[in-house]
Amino acid sequence: MTILSEQSVREFKHHLINGSNALEIKVSDHQAEQMLVHSRELMVWNKKINLTAIKKPLQIAEKHFIDSIAAASFLGNEQSVIDLGSGGGFPGIPIKIMNPSVNVVLIDSSRKKINFLKHVIRMLDLDKIDAIHSRVEDLHENNAYKNKFDAVISRAFTDLSRFVDLAAPFLNRKGTIYAMKGKNAKQEITPAILNNFNLKSDHYKLPFEKSDRLLIKLSGNKVS
């Protein structure tokens, strides 16, 4: 199904590449093409299942892909990442596109969303990435996932304290939690979080609409 005109395709890729450049992140033509495929499928499937409230191509480019690319740029040398509540594949699939060698696991409780994620993974011919249909809590004692990951990430999944509780069981000894949040996220930082983790935050603005974003990085789990 064709859902974007040739002009819309050019505008999408131009928006994506220029917006990423504004954040000092280089996106190759191949990576932009992969994200275009993901975006097209997102828009097609969104007509049948609720994947995103953002429906305009240039808004998808910025609010989903550029935002996810920004998070990918803050990752360290992690080689295994689990994305909790991945939904339409954000930030996990763009992270994989930007860092092909990283092992990525996408988790979502919606089977329809997981079917979509598996479809996109096949369309993009990505390896070392999987989409798992499960409630996050149900994987905490699963030995395939417990204490296995260098990084746990989510975008607007839940409040920070609950995300920390959900994320911590997946971390290995040197693992790091990344929470992608809006500008008011600092209000969610509790004394317990500060007592249990080393906290660093990175602020950035989406390049076109200038929305504030905050990436909260929690490392050195003191209670693991």
Per residue in 2-30, pLDDT tens? 578 889 899 999 999 999 999 999 999 99
Average pLDDT of the chain, as a whole number: 95
| pLDDT tens track for 177-196 | 999 999 889 899 999 999 99
| pLDDT tens track for 149-170 | 999 999 988 999 999 999 999 9
Sheet holding 149-155, edge to edge: 129-133, 103-108, 80-84, 149-155, 171-182, 212-219, 198-205
Beta carbons within 10 angstroms of residue 203's beta carbon: 11
Looking at residue 183, its pLDDT comes to: 84
Q: How far apart are CA 178 and CA 168, in angstroms?
A: 11
Looking at residue 224, its pLDDT comes to: 53
Could you give the count of Cα atoms lying within 13 Å of 73 in the half-sphere of its Cβ?
Answer: 17
pLDDT band at 33; cut points 50, 70, 90: very high
Q: What share of the chain is helix, strand, coil (3-state, %, to 5)?
A: 45, 25, 35
Q: pTM of the full predicted structure?
A: 0.95
pLDDT band at 1; cut points 50, 70, 90: very low
| pLDDT tens track for 80-120 | 999 999 999 999 999 999 999 999 999 999 999 999 999 99
What is the mean predicted confidence (pLDDT) over 39-62? 95
